[in-house]
């Protein structure tokens, strides 16, 4: 059975959503962030040397990158669900969105979180970081014009409008990303 090494309040949530969307059984191994440092416990390094979550173990296979885990689960257990409807035509776009969440989108968000801890010393960087967050929110909003999903007309492994909402709210930009009425709830982004 798939085993997920899950840290509270982390990207691991994406994998749980995915597994729930696919109605797959899985075993949850829970870890709690340190109350002071917010870091993962050292025991998470037993699952993977980086000591980060999520880590997925499926028999002999261990994967520790949320995008790669999503790819593996959709390809191995999805039976066509949550994959692009027309793989030949849409694979590149699908890959682009899947990698985007941990690539271009994540960098300004992480900078925002870390630089906020510098207080006034971080002031020279704030305009640049805010500009990049706004840039990414606009990119996602434009891509979602007239649709609720980044790919096709249904949920796929690369997510939907909720990813943008989470991105915005985590970075303190919740007001910029209203979910329109009727927008779908679940997401794997």
Ligand X SMILES: N[C@@H](CCC(=O)N[C@@H](CS)C(=O)NCC(=O)O)C(=O)O
Q: Give the binding site for ligand X (CB under 6 A).
A: 7, 10-11, 39-40, 52-54, 65-66, 102
**Residue 50 Cβ, how far from ligand X at the closest point, in Å?**
7
Residue 134, strand partner residues: none
Rank residues 65 and 71 by Cβ distance to ligand X and give the closer one: 65
**Residue 14 Cβ, how far from ligand X at the closest point, in Å?**
8
**Residue 25 Cβ, how far from ligand X at the closest point, in Å?**
22
Distances (CA, A) of 181 to 28, 96, 176, 185: 33, 27, 15, 11
**Residue 72 Cβ, how far from ligand X at the closest point, in Å?**
12
**Residue 53 Cβ, how far from ligand X at the closest point, in Å?**
4
Rank residues 58 and 102 by Cβ distance to ligand X and give the closer one: 102
Of the candidates 102, 48, 135, 112, which has an alpha carbon nearest to the alpha carbon of residue 40? 48
Rank residues 67 and 84 by Cβ distance to ligand X and give the closer one: 67
Rank residues 54 and 78 by Cβ distance to ligand X and give the closer one: 54
Rank residues 40 and 133 by Cβ distance to ligand X and give the closer one: 40
């Amino acid at each position: 059975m798939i085993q997920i090494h899950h840290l509270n309040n982390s990207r691991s949530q994406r994998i749980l959503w995915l597994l729930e969307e696919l109605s797959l059984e899985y075993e949850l191994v829970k870890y709690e962030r340190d109350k002071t440092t917010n870091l993962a416990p050292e025991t998470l390094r037993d699952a993977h040397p980086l000591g980060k979550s999520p880590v997925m173990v499926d028999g002999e296979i261990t994967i520790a990158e949320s995008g790669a885990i999503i790819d593996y689960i959709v390809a191995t257990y999805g039976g066509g669900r949550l994959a692009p409807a027309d793989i030949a035509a849409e694979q590149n776009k699908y890959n682009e969105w899947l990698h985007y969440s941990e690539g271009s989108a994540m960098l300004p968000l992480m900078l925002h979180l870390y630089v906020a801890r510098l207080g006034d010393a971080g002031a020279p960087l704030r305009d640049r970081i805010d500009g990049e967050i706004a840039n990414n929110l606009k990119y996602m909003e434009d891509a979602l014009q007239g649709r609720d999903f980044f790919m096709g007309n249904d949920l796929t492994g690369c997510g939907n409008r909720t990813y943008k909402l989470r991105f915005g709210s985590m970075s303190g930009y919740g007001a910029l990303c209203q979910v329109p009425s009727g927008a779908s709830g679940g997401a794997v982004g």
